[in-house]
Structure 1
Amino acid sequence: MSQTVTRVPTRPRTAGPPSAIRLGLSRAAFETKMFFREKDAVIFTFAFPIVLLVIFGSIFAGDLEGTGLSFSQFYVAGLIGSAAMTGFQNLGIGITVDRDDGTLKRLRGTPLPPGSYFIGKALNTLTISFFQVVILLIVGVTLFGLKLPSAISTWLTFAWVFTLGVIGSSLLGVAASSLPRSGKSASAVIAMPFVVLQFISGVFIPVAQLPVWLVNISSIFPLKWMCQGFRSVFLGDAGATLEIAKSYELDRVALILAAWVVGGLVLCLLTFRWKGRRDG
């Protein structure tokens, strides 16, 4: 006597909610698309460092203290460091505006995890900084005779300095976004310290020519170490004589930039606010 087996139909598997990383990637694509739609912002963002390079590279056309290196080569390395830190300014201002106009408050009420929002901002910053660096390298090579390194190890140094620098300065920008009282004051509050840091961190002036007290201040922040790391890539051994320690101290550069990644994350967790001060 045969028995029939009744199969109970199973429910089709439903896809679970997307992960925070996947949502972060989607947010990054959205942020990048919105950035490139603002043509005036795109033109200013990418043209500004090029204009500075052309101006400084044309005015100071001589060699650096008998090193055989031109001022333009020095400025390329410094402006690459500045481009890698634009996340501090962009995020510091952008997040403040998002908080002031209620964007953050609305996002907080959606299923979007907070981490996905920051992932989107960080990847958008990496993308913009990468394109800025590529454009600066093209201009440096074509107009000012910049020699690109040939050793793979040197490009690996570039990669970790760029990655740690962008992430650390971006996290610092997220933390600094809590300082302005409103979106209207964000540009003044965030842009001023960024400009000051450029002048005391080796972007425009060799750090060995700066007063010791200014060097001590700049050494607290990541931009000085980012520029130092990029000089090791693009100026080589000849440029080491321009450093205070007569060495690029890459181990110290790595340690301080990594510390800023960790410290910046702690600052974000302690200071970040989803609501504006007027919202209570």
Structure 2
Amino acid sequence: MWVCSGSPLVAEICAGAGLDWLLVDAEHSPNGLESILAQLQAVRGYPVQVLVRPPVNDAVLIKQYLDLGVQNLLVPMVHSVTDAEAAVAATRYPPAGVRGVGSALARAARWNRVPDYLTTAASTISVTVQIESTEAVVAVEDILAVDGVDAIFVGPSDLAASMGLLGQQEHDDVQTAVVHCLAAANRAGKPAGVNAFSPATANGYLDAGARFILVGADVALLARGSEALAAAFVPASGDDLPGTGASDGGISDSSTTPSY
């Protein structure tokens, strides 16, 4: 499942749920270096794999994530072989890549307590690249062939948008493109994952060869669960609720327009 709240407590709750893996997201969530570090520490004691998605395929940011101790990266918006090669290079020390050397200062090396970290670090890191555009779907076989790309993950929402089908990730054309990518990954002998909150769609992608899948998000579960409580216990008009008027010290009415 997605872990998007930025909360180490929520991440730990999710880590103890019995799920196989979590995705700590920093592309569409309020996660910075400090909150990612705290979540890595919070989930460390649980038998769950953790992927972390940076907001952009950037060597400097990826370097910081790796130094924090991130070992499984999900790199977004990889549209081409060049993008995939850049993602891999960001995880390798020179001469194999461009990762800056700072292991003496880094949690990843336990502050130089891990013997031979500089020579073994690459073997401890997985790189999953995200296929989420028509350009990437066309190039998927070549992207899969990039040395150091361990897996692909298909993002149907952005893929749908790139196909002119914004908000229609269940569209037949989108699903056909996703299945095409899953099949390409299976032929290449590399795992492929996909995001699918609909149980029917998720099961369909699993049947089509997806090896890992995202089927929920912490913030979505909280939003839908709290809405269900409101629907069950709050009258539609609110008129019959005691203590809701501003005049009697209750909760005052507010505009339906969100304020930030």
State the TM-score, normalizing by the size of structure 1: 0.24
Tell which structure's C-alpha radius of gyration is larger.
1
State the TM-score, normalizing by the size of structure 2: 0.25
More helix by share: 1
